[in-house]
């Protein structure tokens, strides 16, 4: 199986207002946890932007759960897989993120580079940074 359900540590979804966790499964439904598509930097950027998580730097430990994808994002065959170009689009954002941004966002690429710069600043003290969300 491609999905990491029962790993030793378990994974929580990084999305705002999402409590899905591999160790906190709702028995009534199946939740898939997806790693960011690191093999595709452009797609990873789209995922990061879609989550609207301030300063999020996608890491291997991050997961987004299937609640944030539509049925159309999946390929249903023997296993349930995301389409190669699927981008999460279903979120429950906190109110402050639903407001119209003050400044018009110029260019998503620029935004991502800003995030990367922020990451540069944080280098070296990563061990002290608390996990974003358990």
**Closest distance to Zn ion from the beta carbon of 96 (Å):** 19
**Closest distance to Zn ion from the beta carbon of 104 (Å):** 28
Among 15, 53, 56, 58, binds Zn ion (CB under 5 A): 15
**Rounded Cα gap, residues 5 and 33, in angstroms:** 8
Among 11, 12, 20, 47, binds Zn ion (CB under 5 A): 20
HSE-CB at 95 with a 13 A cutoff on CA atoms is 0
Among 18, 48, 58, 86, binds Zn ion (CB under 5 A): 18
**Rounded Cα gap, residues 8 and 94, in angstroms:** 31
Site string for Zn ion, 64-103 (x = CB under 5 A): -x-x------------------------------------
Contacts of 35 (CB under 8 A, 6+ apart): 4, 60, 62, 63
**Rounded Cα gap, residues 80 and 34, in angstroms:** 11
Nearer to Zn ion, 20 or 35 (CB): 20
Per the CB < 8 A criterion, the answer to whether 127 and 64 are in contact is no
∠ CA 39-12-35 to the nearest 5 degrees?
10
Segment interacting with Zn ion (CB under 5 A) among 11-19, 45-53, 83-91, 97-105 = 11-19
Tell whether residue 132 is a contact of Zn ion (CB under 5 A).
Answer: no
Site residues (vs Zn ion, CB under 5 A) = 13, 15, 18, 20, 65, 67
């Amino acid at each position: 199986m491609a999905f990491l359900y029962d790993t030793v540590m378990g994974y929580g979804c990084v999305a705002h207002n999402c409590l899905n966790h591999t160790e906190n499964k709702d028995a009534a439904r199946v939740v898939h946890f997806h790693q960011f598509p690191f093999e595709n930097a452009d797609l990873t950027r789209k995922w990061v932007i879609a989550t609207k998580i301030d300063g999020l730097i996608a890491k291997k430990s991050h997961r987004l759960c299937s609640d944030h994808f539509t049925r159309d994002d999946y390929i249903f065959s023997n296993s349930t897989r995301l389409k190669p170009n699927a981008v999460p689009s279903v979120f429950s954002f906190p109110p402050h993120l639903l407001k119209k941004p003050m400044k018009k966002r110029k260019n998503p690429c620029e935004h991502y580079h800003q995030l990367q710069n922020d990451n540069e600043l944080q280098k070296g003290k990563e061990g002290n940074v608390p996990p974003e969300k358990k």
